[in-house]
Amino acid sequence: MKKIWFLIISLFMLINVSSALAQSSQDEINDSSVQFEEWAKTLSEFVKDVRFNEKDVQNLISQWDDFNSFGEEQDTDEEEYIDFNSILNDSAYRSWAQSRGLDSETWLKKTMRIMAMIMRTQIAASKSESQFDMTAQLAEIEKMRAQVGEEMYLQMKQAMAAGAAAMQGIDNSYKHLPVPTDSEKILLIKYNDQLMNLE
């Protein structure tokens, strides 16, 4: 489950770190954006038939550490997207859910819906900030053109173009994430600190 946050952080690193962007190929950025967008579509489809209430949020918070231990046993160093069917077919997960009186499929869907809402909120907040930063950075680059020389100027412009591409990829993915209902919005605000502190 920690990979959710890793994926978001990785995408925003593409936007905000100009030096890294200069070294990243456009193809790599485009591939990452497409993969994340496809995963966002899969996530949205997976949670489309459930809604969560306050009891669900409280249950997620209380069960998180125990549930997350399943993912830690399977973690690798490679970037991977959460395979929902794989989790549902995991006998250890099903046994864990049953031992706590949980419906394994419904609980996972509601958990992922909550995570999707948090992801959507974080992307929305970061998109606005990143857009402002990129506009400011572009203006600074233009001012520095004569000082840094044409070659460095072009490299910096290339980095900005890569950042714009990454931002577009995130925006495309954002559009596919499920939108919270009014009651879900209230719960996300109420439990924001606790949900954001989940590790």
Q: Using CB atoms within 10 A of its CB, is residue 10 exposed (0-12), middle (13-18) or buried (19+)?
A: middle
What is the per-residue pLDDT across 150-176, written as a single tens digit (0 to 9) for each? 888 888 777 777 767 777 777 888 889
Tell me the pLDDT band of 20, cut-offs 50, 70 and 90: very low
Locate 166 and state its tokens: 């990454």
* Of 3-12, 88-97, 117-126, highest mean pLDDT: 88-97
The whole-angstrom separation of Cα 18 and Cα 34 is: 21
The whole-angstrom separation of Cα 76 and Cα 86 is: 15
Above pLDDT 70, what percent of the chain? 74
- Enter the pTM of the model: 0.73
Residue 169 half-sphere exposure toward CB, CA atoms < 13 A: 27
The whole-angstrom separation of Cα 10 and Cα 83 is: 19
Contact between 40 and 177 under an 8 Å Cβ cutoff? The reply is yes
What is the per-residue pLDDT across 125-156, written as a single tens digit (0 to 9) for each? 776 655 556 667 777 888 888 888 888 888 87
In the prediction, which pLDDT does 196 show?
86
> Which residues have C-beta within 8 Å of that of residue 87, sequence separation ≥ 6?
70, 93, 108
